[in-house]
Structure 1
Amino acid sequence: MAKTRTLHVYSYEKDGSTLYYVTFYCKQWDGTNKKIKKMGFTRQADAARYEQDYRDRLAGSPAMTFAALCDRFLDDYRHHVRESTYLTTRNLLVTYLFPAFGDKTLTELTPVMIREWQNRFISSRHYQPTTLSKIHASLVITLNYACKYFGLAKNPATIAGGMGSQRPAHDMQYWTREQFARFILSGLKPEYIAMFSTLFWTGCRSGECLALTAGDIDLEQGIMGINKTMTKTEHGYIVGPPKTAHSRRKVSLPRPLVMILADWIRRTDARSNDRLFTRDRTTYAAALKQHAQQVGLSAIRLHDLRHSHASMLINLGTPPKVYKNAWAMRRYK
């Protein structure tokens, strides 16, 4: 018969030896009371310490499931990042991480478990290195949140190491000035000429270009102000602050681009707060691909026109300090 030694700790006989077990009720992270029982201690103090350690861990909630952690993390994360960043991270968690780890408690997640999961992803060869890197980064920041706020001792994803690469496996795509000239004379509509010329000659991001208004263009001074961007949210596309504070800048416009934008503003009769380019990003990307093929050029993305601008400046021998402002980048490789 079990004998009480201290609160919640009891002794029992087994094979002629006196052993100890501890049993207690403890409120879980989800509010329910759970009965905990652990047997086989050779010392009374070890059994009592087990209960204390268990309660200490639960106070930080490392016993919650990964799915529950993600709910808490995403609810907090959305208040600290751009909505597009939040949506991308949420999509990665729901699509790739919930199925693998959703029902696991944080204490069950080990570096070995995560490493084996990574190896399955890598060996499947269904994902680009950049995609693998983003999936792993989402797991790391989620578990970092658990380490900081919910008592997880170490981040098993960090210990496991990364997968994939932050840089695309293919070379950066770009057009030369000569190739862009062939493209722009391929029979494009005036709107597309204005859009693609702005991307190529200023190096602005596609979201920044989509958010441009007539008031952002100073035709007399040949200056374009970039102070906002177009991003995709749960409620569609919205205009909001630029990617970073450093992204707010003024860019000098070459004379041909001033003339192109002046013509487009005149055609649309755009007022100060009217957006110059009102189609969605997909439509512009399709036109870029279609007309590139018509003149025998390799298809590139809208963002690659930004690469083309940088390549042009570098080939012209432009000092990095000069084009750093136009590109709104802090580092150059």
Structure 2
Amino acid sequence: MSRRANGEGSKPVKRKDGRWAVSLRYIDPDGLAKRSTVYGKTAKEAREKAEEARRRVKRSQPPKDSRVVLGAFVEEWVASTLAVSDRKASTKAMYATLARKHVVDSDLGRSALDRVTPRKVEAWVADLRKKGLSESTVRSTYTVLRAVLDTAVRDRALGENPAAVVRRPKVTTKEANYLTVDEVETVLDAAEGSRYAPLFRLLVNTGMRRGEALALRWSDVDLTNRTLRVRGTLAREHGQLVVTEPKTAKSKRTLFLTDESVEVLHAMRERQRVERAEAGSMWVETGFVFTTEFGQPSDPRNALRAFKAATSRAGIAGAGLHTLRHSAASVLLAKGVPLKVVSEILGHSSTAITGDVYGHVSPDVAAEAMRTLSTALSA
């Protein structure tokens, strides 16, 4: 008898349980000889399933999808694929939480991989929305599921990713909340006396993110040439304050310092000189610009608490430290600074993001623009 070709199956055989079975021998993409068996209620059904299995083998896919439960596969993904990825530690922690809370603990998560279909993924997304989760959380959780199923395809547990054909949940872009120039001064005045007042002034004068400013080291600052380099972001991970890579590739940037910013940084250097002398042997030299009284990096949470206290004294509600960044961007745009320049100052990955987040235009600026248009047309 001649040897059967790759993917060729046996003739349907009726089993004792009444089902019909067809066995296939094939060589997987790694060159290993494998066997797979498909079943049907009738000989015809078994042959049809065998034919589909052959087509999948020819596409270098597994002859049939795995019956491993999705939730179990997710747990393995968290412990292996996610753990060794080059994502930030904070992102890994967030993805692991989303995976366990919204994928493993769901009807979809209790389904076998071969039962996960695009329609079931869509129903799962609808359930996430019914729970009242934010748009960004729904999209992030979908991103996690898609990454998990991509791994299943890579590992040949699935032939195709059923989530890949499901439209990615959208997030409605909201314009950033910002303060007027007068409100900024009111808040900064209310913060005077706080250890974090210099940080607030630097943020609003540079448009930096909180973590970027707190990650600054004196080696990043050139007061002679009035520049500073943004090279990282300070955040708390696993209970420790660490400097990680910036949010985007374009977040690494050089900023030019205004007179106000130079004054702030000179004051910070002098304050550190005094505190270093007072702390004596208890001082820890870390090189950070913003530190505790003993030289350790400042905690972002403490900075936020201090800012909230200042806004409360100023009678301004709903403002956070990011509001200072938004306020700086709004002033730049209102003064006619080109969108591309503002985008580079803020470290956005594209001008589209800048335009979406800072699409607002003050009534005065809009009115002046219309007057300019009218003058030009009537000239």
Please tell me the TM-score bracket, short chain as reference.
0.7 to 0.9
Q: Deviations over 1:137-178 (max 9, x none)?
A: 22223223333443534433343434351534xx42111222
1:216 counterpart = 2:220: yes
Name the structure 1 match of 2:236. 232
Which of the numbers 100, 103, 117 marks the counterpart of 2:110?
A: 103
Counterpart secondary structure, 1:231: strand
Counterpart secondary structure, 1:80: coil
Q: Which runs of 5+ in 2 are unaligned?
A: 1-8, 26-34, 277-284, 292-296, 356-379
Matches within 5 A, 1:292-303: 292-303=311-322
Superposition CA RMSD, Å? 3.5
The whole-number CA distance in structure 1 between the counterparts of 2:180 and 2:46 is: 78
Higher strand fraction (1 or 2): 1
C-alpha change, 1:217 and 1:161, in structure 2 (3 Å) is same
1:128 counterpart = 2:147: no
Which of the numbers 34, 41, 44 marks the counterpart of 1:42?
A: 44
Matches within 5 A, 1:79-118: 79-100=85-106, 101-118=108-125
Name the structure 1 match of 2:323. 304
Report the number of matched residues. Answer: 315
Task: State the one-letter code of the partner of 1:155.
Answer: N
CA contact 2:10–2:23 (8 Å) conserved in 1:
no
The whole-number CA distance in structure 1 between the counterparts of 2:299 and 2:63 is: 48
C-alpha change, 1:41 and 1:328, in structure 2 (3 Å) is same
TM superposition score normalised by structure 2? 0.71
C-alpha change, 1:257 and 1:8, in structure 2 (3 Å) is same
Name the structure 1 match of 2:288. 274
Q: Which runs of 5+ in 1 are unaligned?
A: 1-5, 14-18, 27-32
Task: State the one-letter code of the partner of 1:21.
Answer: W
The whole-number CA distance in structure 2 between the counterparts of 1:48 and 1:185 is: 76
The whole-number CA distance in structure 2 between the counterparts of 1:223 and 1:160 is: 46
Identity, % of aligned pairs?
Answer: 20
C-alpha change, 1:243 and 1:129, in structure 2 (3 Å) is closer
Q: Deviations over 1:224-275 (max 9, x none)?
A: 1111211333353211332333222111111112112211221122768234
C-alpha change, 1:285 and 1:59, in structure 2 (3 Å) is farther
How far has the Cα of 1:289 moved from its partner?
A: 1.6
CA contact 1:231–1:240 (8 Å) conserved in 2:
yes
How far has the Cα of 1:205 moved from its partner?
A: 1.5
How far has the Cα of 1:223 moved from its partner?
A: 1.2
Counterpart secondary structure, 1:238: strand
The whole-number CA distance in structure 1 between the counterparts of 2:98 and 2:133 is: 13
Counterpart secondary structure, 1:67: helix
The whole-number CA distance in structure 2 between the counterparts of 1:328 and 1:218 is: 19
Task: State the one-letter code of the partner of 2:237.
Answer: T
CA contact 1:223–1:253 (8 Å) conserved in 2:
yes
Q: Deviations over 1:63-121 (max 9, x none)?
A: 33323432454422442322222222122111111111333222111222222222233
Counterpart secondary structure, 1:79: coil
The whole-number CA distance in structure 2 between the counterparts of 1:112 and 1:321 is: 41
The whole-number CA distance in structure 2 between the counterparts of 1:206 and 1:234 is: 19
How far has the Cα of 1:43 moved from its partner?
A: 7.6
How far has the Cα of 1:180 moved from its partner?
A: 0.9
